[in-house]
């Protein structure tokens, strides 16, 4: 019989509230014969205050044994900026080689967006997840003095770039429009930019069916707003992908709907699914957070584990739910979770 062994990291702020709704919908959508086991991990701001730990080795080891990880949100104003981000979230992405950070954008019905009514916005950003300026490769000299110097070096390896570019071509080849756009800034970042472009072109010869395009990141931000229907699959580095996917969320329905998957396609490590949004401490504990992004992240998780039909049912339920909601009438976190759980089990 089939089973899913899930690790859950609720994390900080609204993390616990949205993850509870994600689990509710997951339970509702799974067929009877699939056994769902989950273990919750107490990681985040509270743990750090209590013990000084962000992600102890023992917990990392134990997380490795699960089929997948569902994460709520990490970060709290009471913890110095970077401690939890680097010590927990990025540590997980790096340790489990989540080299694909998958962030789809669709224009759902009835959403507050500057692009409402525009046709056919359906693209996915394949953001590199383990390299770029995120590796912590840098330092500072003469810290705190007027002569301070700080560097933050972007690390790009041929191996790391090729594996994400290849994955993006595979995804583009599997979609109806078969178009892949590389976003970088190779007119200025000539070292990394040319490495990316060379590999992009070389791998492209193996995918003659995929149409390719290249955009500098600044120009890409214009097209995200003025002509987002031109995009199908986008591949880009870790930092450009971080920025572009917040913009993508904002123009296609808001950060409350944006889902993501930190994926290791080889299956050597568990992949991790999380909403693109953060812990929103200002609204934590009030039942105000929209759990839809987490619920759509559960759909990505199911798709990754081979439950494509169940993933599609969640997506359809979200589209129906958004189309049916009354504008101006806000619902609680729980009410949205209940509505979606009802639609997927019905």
**Distance, C-alpha 108 to centroid of its chain:** 18
- Report what 85 binds from Mn ion, ligand IPM, none; CB cut-off 5-8 Å by kind: ligand IPM
Instruction: Kindly calculate the radius of gyration of the chain based on its CA atoms and give it in whole angstroms.
Output: 20
CA 113 to CA 115: how far, in whole Å? Answer: 5
Toward ligand IPM, which CB reaches closer, 18 or 90?
A: 90
Shortest reach from residue 80's CB to Mn ion, in Å: 18
Distant-in-sequence, close-in-space partners of 216: CB < 8 Å, separation ≥ 6? 183, 184, 185, 186, 187
- Report what 303 binds from Mn ion, ligand IPM, none; CB cut-off 5-8 Å by kind: none
| 115-331-89-139 Cα dihedral, nearest 10 degrees | 60
Shortest reach from residue 133's CB to Mn ion, in Å: 13
Q: Which residue reads 């998957």 in tokens?
A: 261
- Report what 89 binds from ligand IPM, Mn ion, none; CB cut-off 5-8 Å by kind: ligand IPM
Segment lying near Mn ion (by CB under 5 A), choices 28-36, 46-54, 236-244, 325-333: 236-244
Q: Give the catalytic positions in this structure.
A: 134, 185, 218, 242, 246
Strands (E), the chain: 3-11, 35-40, 68-73, 100-106, 122-128, 138-141, 149-152, 179-184, 211-216, 233-236, 259-263, 271-275
Toward ligand IPM, which CB reaches closer, 45 or 344?
A: 45
Shortest reach from residue 83's CB to ligand IPM, in Å: 11
Q: How many CA atoms lie within 13 A of 143 on its CB side?
A: 3
Toward Mn ion, which CB reaches closer, 242 or 290?
A: 242
CA 279 to CA 16: how far, in whole Å? Answer: 9
CB-nearest residue to Mn ion: 242
Residue 316 DSSP symbol: H
Shortest reach from residue 185's CB to ligand IPM, in Å: 18
Q: Give buried/exposed letters for 99-137 (b at 16+ CB in 10 A, else e).
A: bbbbbbbbbbeebebebeeeeebbbbbbbbbbbbbbbee
Interaction between residue 242 and Mn ion (CB under 5 A): yes
CB-nearest residue to ligand IPM: 85
- Report what 301 binds from ligand IPM, Mn ion, none; CB cut-off 5-8 Å by kind: none
Shortest reach from residue 88's CB to Mn ion, in Å: 15
Toward Mn ion, which CB reaches closer, 113 or 238?
A: 238
Q: Under a CB-based contact definition with an 8 Å cutoff, are residues 216 and 100 in contact?
A: no
Interface contacts to ligand IPM, rule CB under 6 A:
75, 85, 89-90, 242, 276
Shortest reach from residue 262's CB to Mn ion, in Å: 12
Which spans in 98-175 are helix H?
158-173
Toward Mn ion, which CB reaches closer, 25 or 217?
A: 217
Segment lying near Mn ion (by CB under 5 A), choices 10-18, 20-28, 132-140, 234-242: 234-242
Toward ligand IPM, which CB reaches closer, 5 or 85?
A: 85
Question: How do strand 138-141 and strand 149-152 relate by DSSP bridges?
Answer: antiparallel
Q: Which residues bind Mn ion (CB under 5 A)?
A: 242
């Amino acid at each position: 019989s089939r089973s899913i062994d899930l690790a859950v990291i609720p994390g900080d702020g609204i993390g616990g509230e949205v993850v509870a709704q994600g689990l509710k919908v997951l339970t509702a959508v799974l067929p009877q014969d699939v056994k769902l086991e989950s273990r919750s991990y107490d990681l985040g701001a509270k743990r750090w205050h209590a013990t000084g730990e962000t992600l102890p080795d023992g917990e990392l080891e134990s997380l490795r044994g699960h089929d997948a990880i569902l994460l709520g949100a990490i970060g709290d104003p009471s913890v110095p900026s970077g401690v939890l981000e680097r010590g927990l979230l990025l540590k997980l992405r790096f340790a489990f080689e989540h080299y694909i950070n998958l962030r789809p954008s669709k224009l759902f019905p009835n959403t507050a967006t500057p692009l409402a009514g525009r046709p056919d916005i359906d693209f996915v950003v394949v953001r590199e997840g383990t390299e770029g300026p995120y590796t912590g490769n840098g330092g500072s000299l003469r810290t705190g003095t007027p002569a301070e110097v700080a560097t933050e070096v972007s690390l790009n390896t041929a191996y790391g770039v090729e594996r994400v570019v290849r994955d993006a071509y595979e995804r583009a080849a599997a979609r109806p429009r078969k178009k892949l756009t590389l976003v970088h800034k190779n007119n200025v970042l000539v070292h990394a930019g040319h490495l990316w472009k060379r590999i992009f072109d070389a791998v492209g010869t193996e995918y003659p069916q995929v149409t390719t395009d290249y955009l500098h990141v600044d120009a890409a931000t214009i097209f995200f707003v003025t002509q987002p229907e031109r995009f199908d699959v986008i591949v880009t580095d870790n930092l450009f992908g971080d920025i572009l996917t917040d913009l993508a969320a904002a123009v296609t329905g808001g950060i409350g709907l944006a889902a993501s998957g930190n994926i290791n396609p080889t299956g050597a490590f568990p992949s991790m699914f999380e909403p693109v949004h953060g812990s929103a401490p200002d609204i934590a504990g009030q039942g105000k957070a929209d759990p839809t992004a987490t619920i759509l992240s559960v759909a990505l998780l199911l798709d990754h584990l081979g439950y494509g039909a169940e993933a599609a049912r969640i997506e359809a339920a979200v589209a129906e739910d958004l189309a049916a909601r009354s504008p101006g009438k806000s619902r609680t976190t729980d009410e949205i979770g209940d509505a979606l759980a009802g639609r997927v089990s019905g």
